[in-house]
Chains A and B, each alone.
Chain A
Amino acid sequence: MGPYQPDFQQPVSEQNSPQPQPGYPIFGQGGYGTYQPQPQPQQQQPQYYYPAQGGGYYTMIPPPQLSQKPQRSAYRLTLGIISVIALALLLIGGLFSVLIGGIDVLLGSPLGSAAALVVLLVIAALGGGGVGLYFAIRAIANKSSAAARFPPFYIFAALTAAVFITEFAIKLTSLPPSGMFSSFLIVLSGVLPALTILAFTINRLGNPTTWRRLWMSLLSGMFLATLIAIILELTASAVIAIWFANGPGALNSNILNSNSSVLYTLLIISVVAPLVEEGFKPSGPLILIGRIRSPAEAFALGLASGIGFNIFETIGYISSGQADWIQVAFERIGAGLLHGVGAGMATLGWYYIFRGKGVRLRALKGIGAIIYAILQHALFNGSNLLNLVPGPIGNALNYPLYFLGMYETTQIFLFFAIYILIALMLIKMTGALRLKPTEKTSENAQISTASGVLTRNT
């Protein structure tokens, strides 16, 4: 029996329902699933016929159209709410910093170059937290984020050069540093080199991520990772110091004039610090690991997190340098490479481990990348103690230099050689991971990932 044909033409409902689009889950699957639907053929509205009294037919009213609102991801909503709470606390912390700094200034207590750290905390907490809050609210509202694009890296490089030229000119003309007035320059001497590295990486990778993810990774590195690192490193230092007091001998880590002091310092800077920092710098990107679309994005987000960590740490070091802050800033000009590339590699490693299904030598790549990050950090930190080695090595590294108003030693060349090696590694990795033009991030693009899985924008 074929389908029943009515005697008269029933009105056909207007074709007013939107057709299914590729890349969106079919109703009922929920969230941002990974299902790739088949294209749906055009179909008319369903028509229902039922018998009426006296032999006629009635057309049922078509079922009401379901809500046309986009599906909301529970994961995104949860993450958005947590972010809003955390960022609100960050804003409160920033306001508290303003209060503390203001009280110090009013009481006439000179902050010295520590004013720079206060300025950074205020700007990062209020400014960075405010922008982050904007992104978090947009995430809760199910709004998308644009692809992260940076200016050419040489703009930031030129600004970095301008800042350092100014610093050296101030020092060489014997103008005294001016505390609060110099604090913005001090902050820029830590921020601009880091932004140079970040801009270079994002541009070279082909803009693999969005502003929201990038900003959140930056903030997580600056605040979350540093907080965890401070707590764990202090605890580890105390435990090791107690062990030393009861064993190898009393410590004076300010004066490396005994074997126990040297061993203690080596343990802290080459074992504890790399393990803790490389383990927790990728905390922010790891929260998003299930949603990262490509190895390039994983590396970019990890690098952003490392850059955030570096900015906080570098400003802290520079601000403790007092009149030598210029020297400290110059020595740490490449620290963003160390922290950024390390965190980028660690995040890439975790990406391969969790999302690398189908990738050749996945376990080797994943574990290898993480071990590289830890070893890079350990070797760099350990090289700080090479000048204690007796004999020709120590002598070669301790040869005094005086240039641009700075008292240095030849060990500075070792640090810059390591920076260059890490920069070459960055160039290599970004070249290898660079997204092809067809894979560039856009709102509805289907990105081919290492595992062939389609993910949505977060």
Chain B
Amino acid sequence: MNNYSQQQPQPYAQMYGGQPYVMIQPQRPPVPPAESPAGSGKFIPLILSIISITVTIAAIALAIYGSSQAIKAPAISGTQIYSSSLLVNDGAWNFHSTANSQCAFSSQGLDATMQQTAQFDMASCNLTLPIALPYQLKVTIQPQNVLSNNLNAAVYLSQNVRFVISSQGTYDIEELSSQGDWISLHGGSSIQWYTSGVEANTLQFDVSNNGFSIAINGAETDHFTGWSLSGASTIGLGAVAGANPGEALFTNLAVYSQN
């Protein structure tokens, strides 16, 4: 690299046409000026503080307002026609056990498992009591940490409509097709579902002739219409399989008729 700064202009004499001339080497062009200086930014911490405080207060207010406006589960009404802790076999259940799916009472509740998905999967555990529409159903699903397989619970609201929910709170409403496959009608994700794997979750269904609403842990999560059902329903409990076998442990089932 040439060290131009250390070169000083050197005057020298040159003969031109017999006359001496003084030529001074041109000075190097001046150094360009500095960039336009940036502001000191001394007010930025104050601005950041004000913005942070304002946003936090707004978020807190919004969360409190939203929680106060959240729709709670409909109050239980009607006549209780069935109630059980599901810790003992009270004789009100039919078990549809195959090599692929099992249902049995355990010391911790009604345990349903399914090894793999198959056509015409049905409820492993069926309540023999016919239930007339409209009705309310409430059941508790035990957490993942008491299961040997992935939590994938299924509540059959009729023979061809079921509600499926996973350990992460993602759910699906499915209908049985004529080919024996369960087709998803509607799905979603519930912020009310406990995912820690140590806390049980409670589902409440309000079923009528043209649809049903779902409440999870005391807050309404979703409602589904466009499903026509008349006559009596058959309530079932079970599990569904995905890439791995699925399992669900149910306790505290109660059914209320609203006829």
Interface residues of A (CB under 8 A from B): 1, 3-4, 17-21, 24-29, 35, 37-38, 40, 43, 45-51, 63, 65-71, 109-115, 142-151, 155-156, 159, 162-163, 166-167, 170, 174-182, 184-185, 187-188, 192, 195, 210-211, 252, 254-255, 257, 320-325, 327, 400, 407, 443-444
In whole angstroms, what is the CA distance A443 to B66 when docked? 47
One digit per residue, 1 when the CB lies within 8 angstroms of any chain A CB and 0 when it does not, for chain B 151-193 equals 0000000000000000111000000000000000001111111
CA distance A147 to B41 in the complex (A): 7
Docked CA distance A17–B222 (Å): 76
Q: Kindly report which residue of chain A lies nearest to residue B32, judged by CB atoms.
A: A70
Residue among A65, A142, A155 with most chain B CB within 10 A = A155
Q: Which of A47, A162, A211, A323 contacts B24 (CB 8 A)?
A: A47
Q: Please, how many angstroms separate the alpha-carbon atoms of A454 and B74 in the complex?
A: 71
Q: A46-B25, A162-B60, A184-B55 provided; 4 other pairs, C-beta below 8 A?
A: A178-B63, A181-B66, A254-B167, A321-B196
**Is B81 close to A, CB under 8 A?**
no
> Do the beta carbons of A1 and B189 come within 8 Å of each other?
no
Whether B42 and A110, one on each chain, are in contact in the complex, defined by CB atoms closer than 8 angstroms, is no
Q: Tell me the chain B residues, 31-80 only, with Cβ under 8 Å from chain A.
A: 31-42, 44-46, 48-49, 52-53, 55-56, 58-60, 62-70, 72
Residue B99 is within 8 A (CB to CB) of chain A in the complex: no
Instruction: Select A322's contact among B26, B60, B189, beta carbons within 8 Å.
Output: B189
Question: B173: shortest Cβ distance to chain A, in Å?
Answer: 12
Q: Out of A109, A179, A255, name the residue touching B149 (CB < 8 Å).
A: A255
Q: Which of B62, B194, B219 contacts A176 (CB 8 A)?
A: B219
A contact residues around B221 at 8 Å (CB):
110
Bound complex: CA A144 to CA B37 (Å): 6
Interface residue tally of chain B, by bracket?
35 or more
Q: Mark B12-23, 1 if CB is under 8 A from A, else 0.
A: 010011011111
Among B2, B41, B168, B222, point to the contact of A320 (Cβ < 8 A): B168
Q: Which residues of A contact B196 (CB under 8 A)?
A: 321, 324, 327, 407
**Contact between chains at B218 and A174 (CB < 8 Å):** yes
**Closest B residue to A35 using CB positions:** B1
Query: Which of these, B4, B70, B148, contacts A255 with CB under 8 Å?
Result: B148
Asked whether, in the complex, the Cβ of A3 is within 8 Å of the Cβ of B31, the reply is no
Q: Check if B30 is an interface residue, CB within 8 A of chain A.
A: yes
Distance A159 CA – B191 CA, assembled complex (angstroms): 24
Of B6, B52, B167, B188, most A-chain CB atoms within 10 Å: B52
- CB neighbours (8 Å) of A46 from chain B are 9, 24-27
* Residue pair A255, B150 in contact (C-beta under 8 Å): yes
Q: Could you tell me the distance in whole angstroms from the C-beta of B38 to the nearest C-beta in chain A? A: 4
Distance A27 CA – B195 CA, assembled complex (angstroms): 65
> Which residues of the partner chain A approach B188 to less than 8 Å between Cβ atoms?
109-110, 112
Alpha-carbon distance A25/B39, docked complex (angstroms): 23
CB contacts (< 8 Å) of A150 on chain B: these are: 45, 48
| Nearest 7 interchain pairs by C-beta | A181-B66, A178-B66, A146-B41, A176-B219, A112-B189, A175-B67, A144-B38
For A176, what are the chain B residues with a Cβ–Cβ distance below 8 Å?
A: 67, 70, 72, 192, 217-219
Minimal beta-carbon separation of B224 from chain A (angstroms): 10
B219 contacts across to A, CB distance below 8 A: 176-177
Cβ of A322 and Cβ of B63 under 8 Å apart? no
Return the chain B residue nearest A170 by Cβ: B67
- A321:B195 contact, CB within 8 angstroms: yes
> Which chain A residues border B17 with CB–CB below 8 Å?
51
CB closest residue in chain B, given A45: B27
